[in-house]
Amino acid sequence: MWYLRIFFGNNISKPKETNVMMPTIEIIPSDMEIPEAPSWAARINELLHDEEYQHFIASVALVYEARGHKVLVTGTRVKFLENCAKLCGDSAISITGETKDRDGLINEILIGNKNILFSYHQISFRGGFNK
């Protein structure tokens, strides 16, 4: 990388941070165990298809919503995200790669009609929202 400094110099310009939110991340213990399976992916699949686990995640999201928070739950399994959103009722939405009107759904969060978002992790982490 020394050759870049020779070409560009030692002055580094950084833009001012804007439109950034520092999230609060909490680790919430549960008594649930990751099921036995032949591979890590199979173990995660078993856990995410477990109705008790889905109810646990949905109930945690609802508790935080009741405390006045906006809640983001990310994941990699579409059915898990959709099921958890259904369990949360009218206050939640799910956005995955199959979602047609992402901007309209995000607007529901922004204007306060919905407070819980279940989103496929690549969409929420890579800027898949236009707002």
Of 35 and 131, which is predicted with more confidence?
Answer: 35
Domain presence at residue 12: no
Overall domain count for the chain: 1
pLDDT tens-digit readout, 28-70: 888 888 888 899 889 989 989 999 999 999 999 999 999 999 8
Mean pLDDT of 90-107: 86
Residue 126 lies in a domain: yes
Distance CA 123, CA 3 (A): 36
Do residues 92 and 118 touch, judged by C-beta distance below 8 A?
Answer: yes
Percent of the chain at pLDDT > 70 equals 81
Q: Looking at the predicted structure, is the pLDDT value of residue 128 above 70?
A: no
Residue 66 lies in a domain: yes
Domain assignment present for residue 23? The answer is no
In a domain, 128, yes or no: yes
Supply the CATH number for residue 110's domain: 3.40.50.300
In a domain, 69, yes or no: yes
Rg of the chain, C-alpha, whole Å: 19
For the chain, how far is it from start to end, CA to CA, in angstroms?
35
Residue 28 forms part of a structural domain: no
Enclosing H/E stretch for 58: helix 51-66
Joined tokens for residue 94? 């799910």
CA–CA separation, 55 and 16 (whole Å): 41
Q: Which domain holds residue 58?
A: 41-131
pLDDT digits (tens, 9 = 90+) for 68-79: 998 989 888 999
Answer whether residue 5 is part of any domain. Answer: no
